Amino acid sequence: MNSNWLVMLTPVGAVFALTFALLMMRRVLKAPQGSEKMISISQKICKGANAYLRRQYRIVAIFFAAMFLLLLALALGSKGKIITTFVPFAFITGGFFSGLSGFVGMKIATAANARTAQAASQSLNGGLRVAFSAGSVMGFTVVGLGLLDLSVWYFLLKYGFEKPAEEITSAMLTFGMGASSMALFARVGGGIFTKAADVGADLVGKVEAGIPEDDPRNPAVIADNVGDNVGDVAGMGADLYESYVGSVISAMALGVSAAHAVGDAVSGEQAVTVPLAMAGIGVIASILGSLLVRTKEQASQKSLLSALRRGTNFSALLIALAAFPLVWSMLGKEHVGVYFAVLSGLAAGVAVGFFTEYFTSDTYKPTQRLAGTTKTGAATVIIGGISLGMLSTLAPAVIIGASVLVSFFVSGGEGNPALGLYGVAISAVGMLSTLGITLATDAYGPVADNAGGIAEMAGLPKEVRERTDALDSLGNTTAATGKGFAIGSAALTALALIVAYTDRVKELAPDVVLDLRLTNPVVLIGLLLGAMLPFLFAALTMKAVGRAAQSIVNEVRRQFREITGLMEGRAEADYAACVDLCARASLREMLLPSAVALLAPVASGFLLGPSGVVGLLAGALVSGFLLAVMMANAGGAWDNAKKYVEAGNHGGKGSENHKAAVAGDTVGDPFKDTSGPSINILIKLLSMVSIVFAGVVLALHLPL
Amino acid sequence: MNSNWLVMLTPVGAVFALTFALLMMRRVLKAPQGSEKMISISQKICKGANAYLRRQYRIVAIFFAAMFLLLLALALGSKGKIITTFVPFAFITGGFFSGLSGFVGMKIATAANARTAQAASQSLNGGLRVAFSAGSVMGFTVVGLGLLDLSVWYFLLKYGFEKPAEEITSAMLTFGMGASSMALFARVGGGIFTKAADVGADLVGKVEAGIPEDDPRNPAVIADNVGDNVGDVAGMGADLYESYVGSVISAMALGVSAAHAVGDAVSGEQAVTVPLAMAGIGVIASILGSLLVRTKEQASQKSLLSALRRGTNFSALLIALAAFPLVWSMLGKEHVGVYFAVLSGLAAGVAVGFFTEYFTSDTYKPTQRLAGTTKTGAATVIIGGISLGMLSTLAPAVIIGASVLVSFFVSGGEGNPALGLYGVAISAVGMLSTLGITLATDAYGPVADNAGGIAEMAGLPKEVRERTDALDSLGNTTAATGKGFAIGSAALTALALIVAYTDRVKELAPDVVLDLRLTNPVVLIGLLLGAMLPFLFAALTMKAVGRAAQSIVNEVRRQFREITGLMEGRAEADYAACVDLCARASLREMLLPSAVALLAPVASGFLLGPSGVVGLLAGALVSGFLLAVMMANAGGAWDNAKKYVEAGNHGGKGSENHKAAVAGDTVGDPFKDTSGPSINILIKLLSMVSIVFAGVVLALHLPL
């Protein structure tokens, strides 16, 4: 049975998603912007974010241009043997669309912040509508652009140039590498910006000068709000674009080996297109789910949460139902087991999300107990948070392990490992198929956060801030679920990419026998060095935040000292100077960690050869996964433990306990918003770089 | 050329080491004990330590008895097929001698503390002599008992029962498992005790009541000093006994496979005995080195350090010289490359030690900069310390990786992997061959620490405390080097044990083909779960410290409240109650983490089969190594950054900066003295448990 037409679901899904994003954008822009003061603040934030992104893109453009030339030289020099001439172009487009996803998200977020504050001054539900619509713009832009790019490349290579499947997926993996590189820059640069501004503003403003958060007298307050947009929005957009296309592309690549293994041309080719079609279905299910997110005019926070949950659960259910006929018709009933891999991926995403919430939400024991450790000071809060984070790696590791095992065996891995590994890759696609809506519920958090800042700075009534806080805190919970999906899918995708790397090596050098056994010392050394990389990377990014924050601290102190009348509210702070400083510092600091991520796999390839690279990738995968979970969950728990104390527990705001809780939260900031999420990208980028440069490494490595 | 007689170096070394330990003990006991008050305090500490160890041994005895019966039943039930009848007895003796090493160390340390204080009241050099002699007793007892036990088992099995090499090493691996189990209990239980008492005493005494450290009014002060003995001394003794015999045994086991691979019976058998002979030489070299550790009467701290360095460097040089003829005569000139594996191990130990010192000593930039972060509060100190710890994993990972690579290839691994892996195991033996003296320089630190406590409590003149502090701070530096050796050798030994596990599986089930490739999902899942174990283990031990410390805090508060006249010095605190509470809490808290370590490899074996177990062991090895380095170095740096501030930098004692530094040190306490060092044992114990229970797992695992 030929069901080739099902791949059309991809461009159709792209069009649907982008149209839906456009409709949502119009809805956001229709909402009133509020008072002149609110508009002026919002414009300042927007201007700062624009200025930062412009600079970031300028630096990144140099990198992409250089890489483009390098890849082009390689392609032309090797006459397409090491890489084809499509590769440099694929690389560029991946970077471009990843950056565009972040840019659109940032644009809509800065357009929506004042509007959300204004709508929240009417009602909680109004605020939710505007903020969630803005989140939806970002969510559906990401998946829409992802599917668009995927379909254009697929159709171009398949029907335009009539290339074989190997060459198609190999070019598309480079496109993934472009997206991952851009995502890494955006996450690391934005993450350093946002946390440097946050920490810097808090250390001088809250701690030294004793003025409240988001007080307009604080010169770093605009930078702090800009940071939310360039880090939490633009960074996250680029990041999830990368995750999304990465999971689809890696599944397509393993589809090629599965096709070879099965030896059945028809179902073989379908194996490559199933991930594309699945992503298309996911978009449609997400749109339908989003339409369900609405509440009564006077909604409680709880009913808001259940509205969001209803939307995501409905989408997941739709996918679970639609995937069955899809798999059946595309792969035939002998491979229908792959459907259960999809289910296993969906279930694992939900389960990891649940445990993330369990460990980080103050409605559960772990975070409540963490709040209790504030009674004995900052040190016990830190010990408590770190051990909570470490403990929280147990469940995700077991869940992902179980999901890999299930996906492998239900897809027929026992008889045919290539099929089983394909199933594992498909489970990542299943996990991310609801990304449109999960990202929408995730991305609306920073919008609500910004709205709260504007409400504070513009002096709106207290209940407006309370409402935006309610939205923001809801955002923390949904963000936890979103992080679960991001981390879980990163692990599965990275695993698939490791397999794709070995396939690529086999393709390039059929006579090279890779000894990938753990008893091979080269593999073990690779494993050790790879496991070290996320530690190194986390250290570099945290140090970068510290240094950048220090420069903000000095600048804010200078302004307090030199601008007369600032503390009395008679003079305005030089916000732009802080924004500018943050931008320069974060862009400078972003280079070293990014260079490590890009150079490590190539350098270790030269030294240890391809077996060592596989060890490196596997080591980075496992330690990166655990470190990312630990850092994200410790950070989330500290944040919510602080909020729990602020809600009046253990002494409440201003108490010694609260100070201890603030120390925990400050440590958690770079954990959860800079280092943790960047590691997700790191582990995939390492694999993609290895794949793209496999030919070079094979030609030049030392003879181990 | 038959050079079988060289194995006699082992019993000779044992006799030398134990005799030397005895001489040193007599020297310690000859020193005057000081005033009646000092004697009384020392006795209280000794009584507390005895009481704790008695209880610990009682609990541990139950465990050993149960394991003995289980192993005996297995041996008899399987008619020696799964394990031989030697195994249960080997297991018991390993545990017994490991415990004995710790016990002797504790005995001499509690006998030496008042004597060191008394000697320090005369001169710095006098203090050093007594403390270093006490450290030597422990160092040479550990290596002496290790060699004794190794030779007894080897000669008994080889010449008494005339068993083949496989059976000898297999029984001796169980002996290693016994030693590791005991070491884990001692490290975890002692580590929880010492840090719970330390943190508990500080939180109420220093922070709440505002009395100085080691003030006799603090009810937890004796418990704190007991903790130094049961954790830092008895725990470390058991731990290093385990490392020492573990490295020798694993090298012997790989010697068996190397012998098979070479196929030359003579040099084959010698391969098994080289590690034994090498350890014997190491002891003699260490004794000669120790004799060099002496200074002029009026020595500066710097000259003390160079005296210690002179001793260790001299020992290392002797070994480097003596190992060459040893390897040449035992293995023949075609395998003389193994000698370079010894050198590579020695060099790697020194290099890792140097980087440990670089990252944790306040004479270098990293710790000085960390001290500078105190200016912006506790949170920045924590971020700084954690990123320092993470960054410090780079060098050890590269060094160990390079050492593995070098050892593998110089030993002929390219032509014959079994030989190369044997070389890697030998490099661990080389690294630990100077253990006698490095442990002596390491173990004298806690003695000096205790002496300082006694000087404070007995109200000795200020300069005495200053001298003991100088000795203590010197001890911190040498301890850093010692930790480098401990961690580095743990990684190499664990690697060798993984290979020994695969050999064991092959031996038990020759027809089972292990798919150890990293593309096997079962291996990857094992890898992920294994990498998670050190995180889980660290979380459990840190949480245990937190809970135990909390109960001390409550008890100290109770005594301050209920004992009238305590704060005015009219009534004595109930020290015994605190000691008792610490003992009960730490023994209770020790069970769960230990159970995880013992059950995880067997449980995962049942679920994932032997390939999954290898993945688990490799995952635990790499993530455990990195986590142990990170935690040890972050903890060491925080400790020394606090000392650096106390020395008058960045505001000095009592400033806000100092408070921030104290918070860092408190977080570092469980990092460096509980969780970090236990992970070293964990990664080896996992392998040994897997080896001993390999037969059971092979018989019962699920069909993956």
Torsion sign across C-alpha atoms B251, B257, B259, B262: negative
Task: Label residues B434-470 b or e (16+ Cβ within 10 Å = b).
Answer: bbbbbbbbbbbbbbbbbbbbbbbbbebeeebbebbbb
Determine what percent of chain B is predicted with pLDDT higher than 90.
Answer: 55
Residues A131, A124: contact at Cβ < 8 Å? no
Higher pLDDT, A10 or A214: A10
**Which among B373, B516, B543 has CB closest to A519?**
B516
Q: Could you give the CA distance from residue B226 to residue B229 in angstroms, rounded to a whole number? A: 5
Rg (CA), chain A: 24
Average pLDDT over residues B187-209: 85
Rounded to an integer, the average pLDDT of A637-641 is 93
Tell me phi and psi for residue A517, to 5 degrees: -75, 145
pLDDT band at A203 (very low <50, low <70, confident <90, very high): confident
Would B300 be classed as within a structural domain? no
| Residues 6+ positions from B169 with CB-CB distance below 8 Å | B249, B252, B253, B255, B256, B272, B500
Q: Does B308 touch chain A (CB under 8 A)?
A: no
What percent of chain A lies above the pLDDT cut of 90? Answer: 54
Comparing alpha-carbon positions, the chain A residue that sits nearest to B414 is A704
Identify the pLDDT of residue B1.
Answer: 45
Which tokens go with B213?
Answer: 């450290």
Q: What confidence tens digit (pLDDT) does each residue in A505-547 have?
A: 998 888 888 899 999 999 999 999 999 999 999 999 999 998 8
**Residues on chain A touching B378 (C-beta within 8 angstroms):** 378-379, 382, 663
At A421-466, the pLDDT tens digits run 999 999 999 999 989 998 888 888 889 888 998 998 888 898 888 8
Question: Which residue, among A37, A195, A44, has the nearest Cα to A574 in the 3D structure?
Answer: A44
As a whole number, the mean pLDDT across chain B is 90
Q: Identify whether B85 is part of a domain.
A: yes
Is A549 in contact with A200 (CB distance < 8 Å)?
yes
Q: Is residue B302, in this structure, part of any structural domain at all? A: no
Backbone angles phi, psi at B517, to 5 degrees: -70, 150
User: Which of B344, B532, B656 is the best residue to mutate to test the A interface, defined by the most A CB atoms within 10 Å of its own CB?
Assistant: B532
User: Does residue B324 belong to any structural domain of this protein?
Assistant: yes
DSSP string, B59-97: HHHHHHHHHHHHHHHHHHHTTTSSS-THHHHHHHHHHHH
* pLDDT over 80 at A675, yes or no: yes
The answer to whether position B439 is within a domain reads yes
In this predicted structure, which of A340-349, A597-606, A676-685, B450-459 has the lowest mean pLDDT? Answer: B450-459
> Residue A254 — pLDDT band, cuts 50, 70, 90?
very high
Asked if residue A545 lies in contact with residue A674, where contact means CB atoms within 8 angstroms, the answer is: yes
C-beta atoms of A397 and B532 within 8 A: yes
What pLDDT, in 10s, does the model give residues B473-489? 777 777 777 888 888 99
The whole-number average pLDDT for the span A613-639 is 96
Q: Which residue of A has its CA nearest to B400?
A: A525
Structural domain boundaries enclosing A132: 4-295+307-701
pLDDT for residue B199: 83
Q: How many other CB atoms sit within 10 Å of the CB of residue B398?
A: 16
Give residue B2's pLDDT.
Answer: 60
Question: For A471-504, how does the pLDDT look when each residue is reduced to its tens digit (9 = 90+)?
Answer: 887 777 777 778 888 889 999 999 999 999 999 9
Integer angstrom CA distances of residue A462 from A117, A452, A569, B681: 12, 10, 20, 56
The answer to whether the Cβ–Cβ distance between A543 and B391 falls below 8 Å is yes
Return the sign of the alpha-carbon dihedral for residues A44, A46, A49, A50: negative
pLDDT tens track for B678-702: 999 999 999 999 999 998 999 888 7
Task: Evaluate whether residue A123 is within a structural domain.
Answer: yes
pLDDT of residue B524: 95
Of A291, A268, A360, A253, the residue nearest A27 (C-alpha): A291
Length of chain B: 704
pLDDT at position A7 is 87
Among residues A673, A671, A654, A670, the alpha carbon closest in space to that of A207 is found at: A654
Amino acid A323: pLDDT: 94
**Would the CB atoms of B546 and A387 count as touching at under 8 Å?**
yes
Measure the CA–CA gap between A453 and B302, rounded to whole angstroms: 56
Size of interface A-B (CB pairs under 8 A): 233
Please write down the HEC assignment for all residues of A578-637. Answer: HHHHHHHHHHHHHHHHHHHHHHHHHHHHHHHHHHHHHHHHHHHHHHHHHHHHHHHHHHHH
What is the C-alpha to C-alpha distance for residues B348 and B365, in angstroms, rounded to an integer? 23
pLDDT-derived band at A1, boundaries 50, 70, 90? very low
Stretch B398-422: mean pLDDT: 93
Mean pLDDT to the nearest integer, A353-377:
91
pLDDT at B376 over 90: no
What is the distance in angstroms between the Cα of A676 and the nearest Cα belonging to chain B?
Answer: 13
User: Residue B266 — very low, low, confident or very high, per pLDDT cuts 50/70/90?
Assistant: low
| Candidates B383, B401, B539; nearest CB to A390 | B539
Choosing among B250, B414, B524, which should be mutated to test the A contact, i.e. which has the most A CBs within 10 A?
A: B524
Test mutation, B203, B513, B540, B622, chain A, max A CBs within 10 A? B622
Report pLDDT for A567: 82
Instruction: Answer yes or no: is pLDDT of A119 > 80.
Output: yes
CB contact A161 to B (< 8 Å): no
Burial degree of A334 (CB within 10 A; 0-12, 13-18, 19+): exposed
Amino acid, res. B475: G
pLDDT at A181 over 70: yes
**Whether B618 and A516 lie within 8 Å, measured CB to CB:** no
pLDDT at B69 over 50: yes
What is the pLDDT, as a whole number, of residue B267? 59
Distance CA A521, CA A519 (A): 6
Alpha-carbon span B588 to B189, nearest angstrom: 8
| pLDDT of B384 strictly over 90 | yes
Mean pLDDT of A671-683: 92
Spatial separation of the C-alpha atoms in residues A285 and A273, rounded to whole Å: 19
Domain total for chain A? 1
Residue A228 has pLDDT above 90, yes or no: no
Give domain status of residue A300, yes or no. no
The residues near B631 (Cβ < 8 Å, ≥ 6 apart) are B389, B538, B671, B672, B675, B676, B679
Total-model pTM: 0.94
Query: If pLDDT is split at 50, 70 and 90, which confidence band does B60 have?
Result: very high
* B517 neighbourhood in chain A, CB within 8 Å: 516-517
User: Which one has a higher pLDDT value, A526 or B556?
Assistant: A526
What would the mean pLDDT of A34-43 be, rounded to a whole number? 90
**Average pLDDT value over all residues in chain A:** 90
Residue B485 lies in a domain: yes
